[in-house]
Amino acid sequence: MNDNKFKLPASISRRRFVQGLAIGGVIASFPHVVRAGSSFKDVVRAGSSFKDNAATGSAPELSGKVIELTIAESLVNFTGVVRTATTINGSIPAPTLRLREGDEVTIKVTNTLSVPSSIHWHGIILPYQMDGVPGLSFKGIMPGETFVYKFKLQQSGTYWYHSHSGFQEMTGMYGALIIEPREQDIIVADREYVVQLSDWTDDDPMKVFSKLKVQDDIYNYNQPTVRDFFRDLSEKGLSSALSKRKMWQEMRMSPTDLGDVSSAVLTYLFNGSTPLANWRGLFKKGEKVRLRFINGASNTFFDVRIPELQMTVVQSDGQNVHPVTVDEFRFGPGETYDVLVTPQSDAYTIFAQTIERTGYARGTLAVADNINAPVPAVDPVEWLAMADMMGNMSHGGSMTEGAMDHSQHGAAMPMDLSQHAGPAAAYAKASTQVRHASTEYGPSVDMRVDTPRTNLDDPGIGLRNNGRKVLTLSDLHSLENVIEPQRPEAEIELHLTGNMERYSWSIDGLEFGQSTPVHMKLNQCVRVILQNDTMMPHPMHLHGMWSDLESESGELQVRRHTIPVQPAQRISFLTTPHDVGRWAWHCHLLFHMDAGMFREVVVS
Amino acid sequence: MRIIKLVSSAPVIALTASLLLVNAGVMADSQMDHSEMDHSKMKHGDKAMDHSAMDHSKMKHGDTAIDHSEMDHSKMNHDDKAMDHSQMDHSKMNHDDKAMDHSQMDHSKMNHGDKVMDHSQMDHSKMNHDDKAMDHSQMDHSKMNHDDKAMDHSQMDHDDKAMDHSQMDHGDMKMQGGKAPADARDPHAYSGGYTLADGPYAIGGGRQLKLLDEHRFYAIRADRLEHQFATDSLAFELQGWYGTTFNRLAIKLDGEVSDGKLEESQTDLLWSRAVYSFWDAQLGARFDTYTEGESRQWLALGVQGLAPYWFEVDVTAYLGNSGRTAIAAEAEYELLFTQRLILQSSVGLTAYGKDDAINGIGKGLASLNAGMRLRYEFSRQFAPYIGVEWMAKYGNSADYARANNEPTVTTSVVAGVRFWF
Q: What is the DSSP string of A88-147?
A: ETTBSSEEEEEEETT-EEEEEEEE-SSS-B--EEET----GGGS--BTTTB--B-TT-EE
Asked if A398's CB is within 8 angstroms of B27's CB, the reply is: yes
pLDDT score for A486: 86
Q: How confident is the model at residue A161 (pLDDT cuts 50, 70, 90)?
A: very high
Q: What is the pLDDT of residue A162?
A: 98
Query: Would you say residue A401 has pLDDT above 80?
Result: no
Q: Which of A240, A261, A431, A582 to mutate to test the interface with B (most CBs of B within 10 A)?
A: A582
pLDDT grade for A57, boundaries at 50, 70 and 90: low
The answer to whether the CB atoms of A450 and B190 lie below 8 A apart is no
Question: What is the pLDDT at residue A404?
Answer: 33
Say yes or no: B167 contacts chain A, CB-CB below 8 A: no
Per residue of chain B (421 residues), give pLDDT as tens: 333 333 333 333 333 333 333 333 333 333 334 444 444 444 444 443 444 444 444 444 434 334 444 444 444 444 444 444 444 444 444 444 444 444 444 444 444 444 444 444 444 444 444 444 344 444 444 444 444 333 344 343 444 333 333 334 444 457 898 899 999 999 999 999 999 998 899 988 889 999 999 999 999 999 999 999 999 999 999 999 999 999 999 999 999 999 889 999 999 999 999 999 999 999 999 999 998 899 999 999 999 999 999 999 999 999 999 999 999 999 999 999 999 999 999 999 999 999 999 999 999 999 999 999 999 999 999 999 999 999 999 999 999 999 999 999 999 999 999 999 9
Average pLDDT over residues A557-584: 97
Across the interface, of A387, A436, A602, the residue whose CB is closest to B38 is: A387
Q: Is residue A264 part of a domain?
A: no
What ipTM, to 2 d.p.? 0.88
Nearest-CB residue to B138 (from A211, A403, A410): A403
Q: Is B338 on the interface with A (CB under 8 A)?
A: yes
Would residue A139 count as lying in a domain?
yes
pLDDT at A495 > cutoff 70: yes
Contacts with A, B 245-304, CB within 8 Å: 245-246, 274-279
Q: Percent of chain A beyond pLDDT 90?
A: 80
Residue at a domain's end among A126, A160, A185:
A185
- Residue burial B347-384, b: 16+ Cβ < 10 Å; e: rest: ebbbbbebbbeebbbbeebbbbbebbbbbebeebeebe
Asked if residue A135 is part of any domain, the answer here is yes
Q: CATH number, domain at A423?
A: 2.60.40.420
pLDDT at res. B97: 43
A448 membership: H or E segment, kind and range:
none
C-beta atoms of B180 and A440 within 8 A = yes
- Contact yes or no for A213 and B211 at CB 8 A: no
- Kindly state whether residue A356 falls inside one of the protein's structural domains: no
Q: Are B27 and A215 a contacting pair at CB < 8 A?
A: no
- Within 10 A of B166 (CB to CB), how many other CB atoms are there? 14
Domain boundary among A163, A185, A207: A185
Measured at the CA of A296, the angle between CA A292 and CA A299, to 5 degrees, comes to 140
Q: Which residues of B touch A444 (CB under 8 A)?
A: 245-246, 274
Can you spell out the DSSP letters for A207-242?
HHHHHHHH-TTTT------HHHHHHHHHHH-HHHHH
* Residue B87 CB contacts under 8 Å (≥ 6 apart), including other chains: B121
> Domain tally for chain A?
2
Whether B381 and chain A come into contact, CB under 8 Å, resolves to yes
Residue A406: which pLDDT band, with cuts at 50, 70 and 90? very low
Interface test mutation site (partner A, options B32, B43, B201, B311, max chain A beta carbons within 10 A): B201
CA angle at B366 for the pair B364 and B372, rounded to the nearest 5°: 140
Question: Cβ separation of A410 and B43 shorter than 8 Å?
Answer: yes
What are the structural domain ranges in chain B?
A: 1-172, 217-420
Closest CB to A249: pick one of B35, B309, B336: B309
Report whether pLDDT(A234) > 90: yes
Q: Quick check: A249 and B200 CB within 8 A?
A: no
Q: Which of A30-39, A130-139, B148-157 has the lowest mean pLDDT?
A: A30-39
Question: What pLDDT is attached to residue A452?
Answer: 96
Q: Does B216 touch chain A (CB under 8 A)?
A: no
B39 touches chain A (CB under 8 A): yes
pLDDT at A247: 86
Give A-chain residues touching B203 at CB under 8 angstroms.
135-139, 582
Task: Give the burial class of B232: count Cβ atoms within 10 A of its Cβ; 0-12 exposed, 13-18 middle, 19 or more buried.
Answer: exposed
* CB within 8 Å: B184 and A437: yes
Distance CA A109, CA B239 (A): 46
CA distance A110 to chain B (A): 21
Per-residue pLDDT of A274-302, as tens digits, reads: 999 999 999 999 999 999 999 999 999 99
Answer whether A519 sits within 8 Å of B192, measured CB to CB. Answer: yes
**Last residue in a domain, options A185, A220, A247:** A185
Q: Is residue A396 part of a domain?
A: yes
Confidence of residue A28 (pLDDT cuts 50, 70, 90): low
| The predicted structure's pLDDT at residue B122 | 43
Q: Which residue in B22, B38, B310 has the most chain A C-beta atoms within 10 A of its own C-beta, making it the best mutation to test that interface?
A: B38
**Which range among A8-17, A237-246, A456-465, B138-147 shows the weakest confidence by mean pLDDT?**
B138-147
Given an 8 Å threshold on Cβ–Cβ distance, is B175 in contact with A511? Answer: no
SS3 B300: strand
Interchain proximity A508–B179, CB inside 8 Å: no
Q: Is A370 contained in some domain? A: no
Q: Do A135 and B209 touch (CB under 8 A)?
A: yes
Confidence at A5, pLDDT banded by 50, 70, 90: very low
Tell me the CATH number for domain B217-420.
2.40.160.40
Chain A CB contacts of B34 under 8 Å are 393
A204 to chain B, closest Cα gap in Å? 14
Question: Among A247, A582, A595, whose Cβ lies nearest the Cβ of B212?
Answer: A595
Distance of residue B326 Cα from the nearest chain A Cα, in angstroms: 28
More confident residue, B160 or A394: A394
B202 touches chain A (CB under 8 A): yes
Domain of residue A94, residue span? 14-185
Q: Is the dihedral angle over the CA atoms B125, B129, B130, B134 positive or is it negative? A: negative
| Residue A41, burial from CB neighbour count under 10 angstroms (0-12, 13-18, 19+) | exposed
Average pLDDT, chain A: 88
- Closest residue of chain A to B142, computed from CA coordinates: A405
Nearest Cα residue in chain B from A454: B41
Confidence of residue A597 (pLDDT cuts 50, 70, 90): very high
Dihedral sign for Cα atoms in the order A420, A425, A429, A434: positive
Q: How far is A105 from chain B (nearest CA, A)?
A: 24
